[in-house]
Amino acid sequence: MDDSGRALKVKKKHEKQWLCIEGVTAIGIGMDNDSTAIIVSYSGNPDVVKRAIPQSVDRVPVVFKFSGTINTQDNHFFL
């Protein structure tokens, strides 16, 4: 299995659990230093998130990115 396939498998396995952690706003897949990684976006205290989620899962690195608060927009802005 290639790196992106492994990352997708790990993401699918853990994302519901990780999204329940206070401050986690999104889970995605991206690049970090030329390797595929799981990107965990968060708002608030990074220590809470980093204690709950390991920096690597099944040989896939996990990278933490501050996103700030994410708000939804009203649907009337979209056609």
What global pTM score does this model have? 0.84
Structure confidence at residue 39 as a pLDDT band (50, 70, 90): very high
Map tokens 């889970």 to a residue. 27
Delimit the domains of the chain by residue range. 3-68
User: In the sheet that 24-32 helps form, which strands lie side by side, from edge to edge?
Assistant: 24-32, 35-42, 60-66, 56-57
Please determine, for residue 77, whether its predicted confidence score (pLDDT) is greater than 60.
Answer: no
For the domain made up of 3-68, give the CATH fold. GMP Synthetase; Chain A, domain 3 (3.30.300)
